[in-house]
Amino acid sequence: MTATRVKKEKWELSERAQRLNEAALFVDVHNHMMFEFAIRHALEETHIFDNRYAPALRKGGINVIATSVGGNSPCVCNLSDDLVFGSFEQIDLLRLEEERSNTFRICHNAAEIEVAVADGKIAVLLAFEGARAMEGRADEESLSMLRTFYRLGLRINCICGGGRTRFADGMGEARADAGLTTFGIKLVEEMNRLGMLVDLTHMTDNSFFDVLAVTNRPVLVSHIGVQAVCPSATNLSDDRIRAIGANGGVIGMEMVKTEIRWRAQETGETVTFDDVVRHIDHIAGLIGTDHIGIGLDFDNFDLVHNIHRAMCPAPGTIEGFYTGVPKGNHMLNDPSDLSEAYLIAEYLVQHGYSDDDIRKILGGNMMRLFRETLV
């Protein structure tokens, strides 16, 4: 497919792209608004979603998000070292907000999403980035925390963040060359039974393929690129891509430069959705378009720029090890904000994708995955 690079400021969306944006269920399966939401709540703002996030999401055409409400590190748990409390606190904040909001509804499955969108609401799914908050007491393989978070509405669980958990290893611990633990196998099996979507982002090879050997449902990789286009160790190899296709899962494409064009953040190169489409082209060439979605991983909010600078316990660290402090804005140059997500349809149009493929990539594939996994 031939790329057509057009400066955004000269764009008038094509009739096709406008029509697709208006008709599509647009799913962003990896949203980080809670980084900033919790800060605004602490500053005693009210109607935060209505005033801060709904306008940007609506302008961008996004009507379904999965937002991280907890996980492996203080940065995703309201900066609390008590990851369980921080996760509970953020779920509580969002539930309280839902009670007074006219713009969003927390959903638990595809049917509820469809009703919420039909009612003019933004549908919100609750997700974790890393399962450490589910580990429970030391030396006890109890899944009570998993079931408790499920009952509170959690429906997507990214098992690994950067490092090691009692369930599996993330890429930050790749040297150990370990996979799923016996506790991790129990976790995946119980998630399947409950109807919770397993997210394989950040996993080592052994952890990744162990999950695929255990799960009896399709899986998600929520925010990622591909190694064939950008050789980041965190991106997907062709073997992983083919395995996701065989499993029936879906891969979410992100808008973070570091996984889209190699070392672009250091070089200062302009990175746009043209570069993301190179990743999409590669996946489509291997397994088709039925396994591609959107997981933007946007975290460049007004009060939280470059989240790595805010990661605990010190800037540039996550889960206790140093990852480096990014230079400049690590989001794409175009689109550079959630409010500009409507441009994605235009990029896909210009790269020659069909209407059917674009609808699937914007949200159709994710909705199919939700129907097959969420209860």
Q: What is the average per-residue pLDDT within 245-271?
A: 93
pLDDT tens column, 200-254: 999 999 999 999 999 999 999 999 999 999 999 999 999 999 999 999 999 999 9
Give the residue numbers spanning the domain of 178. 8-373
Q: What is the average per-residue pLDDT within 164-175?
A: 90
Which residue did the predictor score with more confidence, 6 or 176? Answer: 176
Domain annotation covers residue 54: yes
Domain annotation covers residue 12: yes
Domain annotation covers residue 2: no
> pLDDT grade, residue 64 (50/70/90)?
very high
pLDDT tens column, 88-124: 999 999 999 999 999 999 999 999 999 999 999 999 9
Confidence at residue 186, expressed as pLDDT on a 0 to 100 scale: 98
Residue spans of alpha helices (H) in 26-159: 34-42, 48, 54-60, 83-100, 110-118, 144-151
How far apart are the C-alpha atoms of 19 and 43, rounded to whole Å? Answer: 40
Q: Is the distance from CB of 191 to CB of 128 less than 8 angstroms?
A: no
How far apart are the C-alpha atoms of 203 and 197, rounded to whole Å? Answer: 15
How far apart are the C-alpha atoms of 166 and 348, rounded to whole Å? Answer: 40
Domain annotation covers residue 1: no
> pLDDT grade, residue 7 (50/70/90)?
very low
Q: Is 292 helix (H, G, I), strand (E, B) or coil?
A: strand
The answer to whether residue 194 scores a pLDDT higher than 80 is yes
Q: Is 209 helix (H, G, I), strand (E, B) or coil?
A: helix
pLDDT tens column, 39-56: 999 999 999 999 999 999
306: CATH: 3.20.20.140
Token output for 74 = 């203080």
pLDDT tens column, 117-151: 999 999 999 999 999 999 999 889 999 999 999 99
Contact residues for 118 (Cβ-Cβ < 8 A; gap 6+): none
Confidence at residue 303, expressed as pLDDT on a 0 to 100 scale: 87
Domain annotation covers residue 145: yes
Q: What is the average per-residue pLDDT within 279-299?
A: 97
The answer to whether residue 174 scores a pLDDT higher than 90 is no
The answer to whether residue 289 scores a pLDDT higher than 50 is yes
Confidence at residue 315, expressed as pLDDT on a 0 to 100 scale: 63
The answer to whether residue 3 scores a pLDDT higher than 50 is no
User: To the nearest whole number, what is the mean pLDDT of the chain?
Assistant: 92
Confidence at residue 81, expressed as pLDDT on a 0 to 100 scale: 83
> pLDDT grade, residue 345 (50/70/90)?
very high
The answer to whether residue 6 scores a pLDDT higher than 50 is no
Q: Is the distance from CB of 197 to CB of 367 less than 8 angstroms?
A: no
Total domains present in the chain: 1
Specify the residue for token string 């400066």: 7
pLDDT tens column, 313-331: 566 667 766 666 666 778 9
Domain annotation covers residue 200: yes
How far apart are the C-alpha atoms of 242 and 24, rounded to whole Å? Answer: 27
Confidence at residue 162, expressed as pLDDT on a 0 to 100 scale: 83
Domain annotation covers residue 3: no
Q: What is the average per-residue pLDDT within 253-278?
A: 93
